[in-house]
Structure 1
Amino acid sequence: MRVGAHVSIAGGVDNAVERQREVGGNCGQIFTHSPQVWQDPGIGDEEAAAFRDGTAAKLDGPWVIHSSYLVNLCTPKDDLREKSIDSMQKEVDAADQLGIEYVNVHLGAHTGAGVDGGLDNAASALDELDVPEGVTVLVESDAGSGTKLGGDFEHLAEVLDRSDQDLDVCLDTAHAFAAGYDLSSEEAVAETVAEFDDVVGLEHLKCVHLNDSKHECGTNKDEHAHVGEGLIGEEGMRAFLNHPDLEDVPLVLETPNEDGKGFAWNIERVKELRDGDADDC
């Protein structure tokens, strides 16, 4: 099982490798800079080499770069669109430099352009990227509040269809649950996975953000909970982790650090809920 967490790159991106090992992960996710600002990754060649070497020696992979929260691919505003494209180009270039396979991005909000217009904007913005060979952009599922797109599986499928890029998908369990896709029981997980496969295609699912939810299904509220302790709950998380079509998909946790529980606790919880894997991982 490939499972890890979103870890800090403070002090140099190469430090993420040991931080991942410290929480018990063997794959994971990073920001290349603060996600709240427009900023160049600014990764030096030596630390990039140390990151690549450390990953090859100590982790199974893959790594995912999560793009800036400011990126809005659906926007109808020219200035924000150009900033978003520029930021994404720097992220895919950083991924190439670091030997990272995936760059994850939210579609963003259409802010009045409408669903169809927003999806067209996102696809055309992605088409402007020069994505290096060996790097794939993952479009992430969203909780779907306001005019944000990506809450419906159809939105993800449409962007993959409308774009000329070879795109894939990251499914966030808390976001999908908040957007109305039930994951709280074995039957619900089976139905949601089947719907994803029918609409998007499981062949496009390259990463899962494994998070429980502090809010009810369909509320469009995005707040993560510890694995098995939110409203998806233990039954739902167990069913998701043991679904036969999902067993090889890398899992990245973005769970909270609260109540004396952090990433290490949540990764152990994942191993306990994954039948037969607790003693092997």
Structure 2
Amino acid sequence: MRVGAHESIAGGVFNAVEAQVEDGGNCGQIFTHSPQVWQDPNIDDDEAAQFKTLSDDNDVGPWVIHSSYLVNLCTPKDGLREKSIDSMQKEVDAADKLDIPYVNVHLGAHTGAGVEGGLDNAVSALNELDVPEGVTVLIESDAGSGTKLGGDFEHLDYVLSESEQDLEVCVDTAHAFAAGYDLSSADAVDSTVAEFDEVVGLENLACVHLNDSKHECGTNKDEHAHIGEGLIGEEGMSAFVNHPDLADVPLVLETPHEDGRGFAWNIQKVRELRDANERSE
């Protein structure tokens, strides 16, 4: 089972590996810089070598780079589009340097271009990337608030189908739940997984952001909760992590640090949910 968390690279990207090991994870995600500003990754050769060595020595992987929150692939604004493409290019190049197989990105908001126009903007922006061999861009499912795209599985399928790039998908459980895909019971998980398979295809699911939700299904509100303690709940989370079609998909947690609990508690919770199912069988 591959489960880990989004770790900080403060003090050097290699520190994310040590933090992951301390938290009990064996895969994970990083930002290459602050996600709130336009900034280039600044990872020197020594840092990259340490990151790769530590990951190999501790059997931590796969890793995912999460792109900047400022990236908006759907935008109709030329300036923001060019900044987004430039930022994404630098992220896929950083992934190549670190031997990280995935760069995760939200499609963004169409801000008046319309759904089809926004999706076409995203496709054309992605097509401008020179993605190194061994790196894959993942389109993340969204909570779907405002004019943000990616909340509907059909949006993900459209971009994968229309783009010249070999793209895959990262489903965020809290986002999917917020967008109206129920995950709060075993039957609901079965139904949502089947719908994803029918629309997008499970063969295109490379990673899952495993998060519980502080808000009801279909509210379009994105706020993460501890695993099993949100409105998806323990039954839904257990059904998801034990779903046979998802057994080999890496699970990356973006759960909160609150109530005296952080990533280590949530990773252990996921392992307990998997172990309990295996014991019951």
TM tier, smaller: over 0.9
The residue aligned with 2:202 is: 202
For structure 1, the residue ranges without an aligned partner over 5 or more in a row are none
The residue aligned with 1:232 is: 232
Q: Deviations over 1:142-181 (max 9, x none)?
A: 0000000000000000000110000000000000000000
The residue aligned with 1:272 is: 272
For residue 216 of structure 1, report the CA deviation from its aligned partner.
0.1
1:1-281 alignment to 2 at 5 Å? 1-276=1-276
Q: Which amino acid aligns with 2:174?
A: A
CA contact (8 A) 1:271 1:277 kept: no
SS of the aligned residue for 2:244 comes to: coil
| Structure-2 separation of matches of 1:99 and 1:278 | 33
TM-score w.r.t. the length of structure 1 is 0.98
Q: Would you say how many aligned residue pairs link Structure 1 and Structure 2? A: 279
For residue 275 of structure 1, report the CA deviation from its aligned partner.
3.6
CA contact (8 A) 1:242 1:275 kept: no
CA contact (8 A) 2:103 2:136 kept: yes
| Structure-2 separation of matches of 1:148 and 1:60 | 33
Task: Return closer, same or farther for 1:130/1:239 CA change in 2, 3 Å cut-off.
Answer: same
Task: Return closer, same or farther for 1:197/1:122 CA change in 2, 3 Å cut-off.
Answer: same
SS of the aligned residue for 1:274 comes to: helix
Q: Deviations over 1:88-118 (max 9, x none)?
A: 0000000000000000000000000000000
| Structure-2 separation of matches of 1:218 and 1:59 | 38
| Structure-2 separation of matches of 1:277 and 1:48 | 38
SS of the aligned residue for 2:161 comes to: helix
| Structure-1 separation of matches of 2:42 and 2:264 | 29
SS of the aligned residue for 1:59 comes to: coil
Q: Give % identity.
A: 81
SS of the aligned residue for 1:245 comes to: helix
Q: Which amino acid aligns with 1:271?
A: R
| Structure-1 separation of matches of 2:53 and 2:126 | 30
TM-score w.r.t. the length of structure 2 is 0.98
Q: RMSD over aligned Cα, in angstroms? A: 1.0
| Structure-1 separation of matches of 2:164 and 2:94 | 22
| Structure-1 separation of matches of 2:59 and 2:211 | 22
For residue 276 of structure 1, report the CA deviation from its aligned partner.
4.9
For residue 42 of structure 1, report the CA deviation from its aligned partner.
1.0
For structure 2, the residue ranges without an aligned partner over 5 or more in a row are none
| Structure-2 separation of matches of 1:245 and 1:60 | 22
SS of the aligned residue for 2:252 comes to: strand
Q: Deviations over 1:201-258 (max 9, x none)?
A: 0000000000000000000000000000000000000000110000100000000000
CA contact (8 A) 1:73 1:125 kept: yes
